[in-house]
């Protein structure tokens, strides 16, 4: 059997915005055999925190568009420029994943645009996943979410 991951989620957003992600990682079919534990971080400051982060086998930087735009790094007003650098340095680019949640448009064109405008994401993280509001709310869209989570879990399996 493959080794189980300790996944860290770092975010400045309130915890309730990413509880769905924590719940998926700990209980969804795609993940239950992959994930040992999910740990939440609200800061990357301090030796102790950085030590705890470096114990994670995967770090997810979570940002919700509910609080402004799909800015993570590189652009004016981006809230995670420093943090993305810290996380990537602590666990490595291969183990860093960026998630932007609550997107209205959720197509690959949108992803390409974000990666072009915020090149550090590609340099410092292995992947960028966009999740839409609809995907989480509507049963019809659940299947799209499941498919995307399949890709997400495949991404996790590769580490």
- Please state the domain extents for the chain: 5-157
For the chain, the farthest-separated pair of C-alpha atoms sits apart, in whole angstroms, at 45
Q: What is the pLDDT of residue 85?
A: 96
What are 44-98's pLDDT values in tens digits?
Answer: 888 899 899 999 999 999 999 987 789 999 998 899 999 999 999 999 999 999 9
The C-alpha torsion from 154 through 38 and 34 to 142, rounded to 10°, is: -50
- Pick left, alpha or beta for residue 54 (phi over 0 → left; psi -120 to 50 → alpha; otherwise beta): alpha
Q: How far apart are CA 151 and CA 142, in angstroms?
A: 14
Helices (H) and strands (E) in the chain, counts: 7, 5
Distance CA 10, CA 21 (A): 12
Say what the pLDDT of residue 37 is: 94
Q: What is the pTM of this model?
A: 0.87
CATH number of 5-157: 3.40.50.2300
């Amino acid at each position: 059997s493959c080794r189980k991951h300790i996944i860290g989620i770092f975010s400045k957003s309130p915890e309730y915005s990413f509880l769905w992600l924590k719940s998926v990682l700990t209980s969804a079919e795609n993940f239950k055999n992959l994930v040992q534990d999910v740990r939440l971080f609200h800061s990357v400051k301090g030796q102790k925190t950085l030590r705890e982060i470096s114990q994670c086998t995967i770090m997810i930087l979570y940002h919700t568009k509910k609080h402004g735009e799909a800015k993570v790094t590189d652009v004016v007003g981006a809230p995670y420029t420093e943090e993305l650098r810290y996380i990537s340095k602590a666990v490595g680019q291969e183990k860093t994943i960026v998630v932007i949640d609550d997107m209205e448009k959720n197509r690959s064109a949108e992803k390409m645009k974000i990666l072009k405008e915020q090149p550090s994401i590609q340099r410092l993280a292995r992947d960028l996943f966009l999740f839409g509001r609809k995907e989480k709310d509507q049963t019809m869209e659940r299947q799209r979410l499941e498919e995307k989570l399949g890709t997400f879990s495949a991404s996790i399996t590769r580490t």
